[in-house]
């Protein structure tokens, strides 16, 4: 049989790595729930018109197709795998609006699929963790302040490098470009969003090509993109550029509120960075991009923003604000480098040693008694010498080996790390809390 080649862009973790990933997902869910967010899960597919109606995403969508389509079937079902969790949320809110309580605070942790070229930190299948607040008709601006603080708490709960969240406001950018006299502010936003990829010269050429901006307008756009600060001093620097517009004023006020609150409640987490644009068209207010110290090559690992019109139908309008954590983007590089590892490779806390095959049923009863009290236990696979069974446990990081008693004595349990061994009762014995489940080392 020929060797199976790995499929690029679809990471598969080893059991120990998966334990780390599960613990991270558990911690994220716990933090989200501390803030009062409820969990939902949406289907993996959405209608193509829903996936494509906002932003330039057509190249990223995997289309769902039946292999053996009949002659009357074009071969395209009109469905695609979701590339993020925001578009499915918009559809979910519209379908369930009559049964939801608003403001609707939801979190969602699911895989997504994106048909882009695989590279470091970018995958075609990946886990994402989203938090959003959606309201009916109008959404208070204080949620744009609350969400980055929530994300700061969530990320600080993880054993990962420090994160820095860069924030901007679409109203600020659009108002500035409009005040400059640029006819298509959204084209300017999309151009500036490519600054890290193509550099100032490339952005200057793109601005001239897509918006017709002259040299003075291009220089002002690039000057705005250079402004960043951890406090409200960015407001004066924007004013010094001499551009005025009511929408710009609104954006400056909203962004100032986010930066001020973060400086008070989570110093060092948030920085105003006016080059941040976010390429998707549906953002309308504050936008966020988060970078992990030492891993700038990964790009943003937690992004999002405010959207006022993504979820709307007729007279019904459901504005929202949300952030998406790229769980796979963060974890896979750290796991591959060995910077994250579990305290053991398996969930098992206790290996019940097997004296001989005739005693297997007795050993099964011991394991069952331990499991009934929430202690993960398994019976040794074969009745080998106890030394081999202990080495079996050591290789897997199982901390305790249970020795069934016989006519001469009762059961005993050994901590194979320290060598300490003592009498034990399967109906009463418990390990230390730190050993009950594998943790992130």
Please state the domain extents for the chain.
Answer: 15-336, 350-436
pLDDT tens sequence across 71-95: 566 555 789 999 999 989 999 999 9
Check residue 408 and give its pLDDT.
82
pLDDT at position 310 is 73
Contacts of 150 (CB under 8 A, 6+ apart): 31, 32, 35, 131
Alpha-carbon distance of 313 to 311, in angstroms, equals: 7
The Cα 416–Cα 207 span in angstroms is: 66
CATH 3.30.70.1140 fits 15-336, yes or no: no
| Diameter over CA atoms, the chain | 95
- Distances in Å between the Cα of 167 and the Cα atoms of 144, 246, 326, 332 are 10, 20, 17, 25
How do residues 252-307 score in pLDDT, each as one tens digit? 999 999 999 999 988 989 999 999 887 667 789 999 999 999 999 999 999 999 99
Reported as type and span, the H/E element at residue 131 is strand 125-134
Q: What is the pLDDT of residue 56?
A: 56
- Bigger pLDDT: 80 vs 116: 80
Average pLDDT over residues 117-134: 91
Tens-digit pLDDT profile for residues 342-374: 999 999 999 999 999 999 999 999 999 999 999
Which amino acids are annotated as binding site, given as ranges?
84-86, 114, 128, 132, 278, 282-283
Q: For residue 14, with 0-12 CB atoms within 10 Å meaning exposed, 13-18 middle and 19 or more buried, which class applies?
A: exposed
Q: For 350-436, CATH number?
A: 3.40.50.800
- CA pair distance 270, 261, nearest whole angstrom: 9
pLDDT at 400: 98
Distances (CA, A) of 180 to 183, 204, 285: 9, 15, 19
- Distance CA(159)–CA(226), nearest Å, equals 32
Which pLDDT belongs to residue 224? 95
Annotated binding site for L-histidine: 84-86, 114, 128, 132, 278, 282-283
Of 410, 436, 433, the residue nearest 422 (C-alpha): 410
Three-point CA angle 352, 355, 358, nearest 5°: 105
Which of 26-30, 55-59, 247-251 has the least mean pLDDT? 55-59
Question: How many other C-beta atoms are found inside a 10 Å radius of the C-beta of residue 267?
Answer: 9
Per-residue DSSP letter, 6: P
Of the given ranges (33-42, 47-56, 162-171, 224-233), which has the lowest mean pLDDT? 47-56
Same fold, 15-336 and 350-436: no
The pLDDT confidence band at residue 406, using thresholds 50, 70 and 90, is confident
């Amino acid at each position: 049989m020929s060797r199976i080649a790995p499929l690029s862009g679809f990471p598969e973790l080893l059991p120990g790595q998966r334990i780390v990933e599960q613990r991270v997902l558990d911690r994220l869910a716990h933090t989200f729930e501390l803030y009062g967010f409820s969990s939902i899960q949406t289907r993996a597919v959405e209608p193509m018109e829903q996936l494509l109606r906002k932003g330039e995403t057509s190249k990223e969508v995997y289309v769902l197709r039946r292999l053996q389509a009949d002659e009357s079937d074009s071969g395209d079902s009109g469905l695609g795998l979701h590339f993020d969790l925001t578009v499915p949320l918009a559809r979910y809110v519209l379908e369930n609006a009559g049964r939801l309580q608003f403001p609707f605070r939801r979190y969602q942790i699911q895989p997504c699929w994106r048909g882009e070229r695989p590279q470091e930190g970018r995958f075609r299948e990946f886990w994402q963790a989203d938090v959003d607040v959606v309201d009916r008709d109008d959404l208070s601006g204080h949620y744009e302040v609350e969400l980055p603080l929530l994300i700061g708490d969530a990320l600080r709960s993880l054993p990962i490098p420090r994160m820095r969240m860069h924030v901007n406001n679409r109203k600020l950018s659009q108002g500035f470009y409009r005040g400059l006299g640029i006819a298509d502010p959204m084209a300017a936003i999309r151009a500036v969003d490519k600054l890290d990829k193509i550099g100032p010269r490339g952005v200057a050429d793109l601005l001239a090509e897509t918006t017709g901006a002259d040299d003075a307008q291009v220089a002002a756009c690039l000057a705005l993109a250079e402004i960043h600060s951890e406090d409200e001093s960015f407001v004066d620097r924007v004013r010094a550029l001499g551009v005025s517009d009511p929408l710009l004023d609104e954006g400056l006020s909203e962004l100032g509120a986010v930066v001020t609150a973060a400086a008070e409640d989570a110093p060092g987490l948030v920085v105003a960075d006016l080059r941040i644009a976010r390429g998707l068209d549906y953002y309308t207010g504050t936008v966020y991009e988060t970078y992990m110290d030492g891993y700038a090559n990964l790009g943003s690992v937690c992004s999002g923003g405010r959207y006022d019109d993504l979820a709307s139908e007729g007279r019904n309008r459901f504005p929202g604000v949300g952030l998406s954590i790229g769980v796979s983007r963060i974890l896979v590089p750290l796991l591959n480098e060995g910077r994250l590892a579990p305290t053991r490779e398996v969930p098992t806390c206790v290996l019940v040693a097997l004296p001989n095959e005739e005693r297997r049923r007795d050993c099964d009863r011991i394991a069952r008694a331990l499991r009934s009290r929430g202690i993960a236990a398994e019976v040794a696979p074969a009745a080998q010498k106890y030394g081999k069974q202990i080495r079996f446990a050591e290789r897997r990081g199982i901390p305790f080996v249970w020795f069934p008693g016989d006519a001469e004595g009762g059961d005993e349990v050994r901590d194979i790390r320290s060598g300490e061994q003592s009498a034990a009762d399967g109906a009463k014995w418990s390990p230390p809390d730190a050993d009950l489940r594998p943790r992130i080392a």
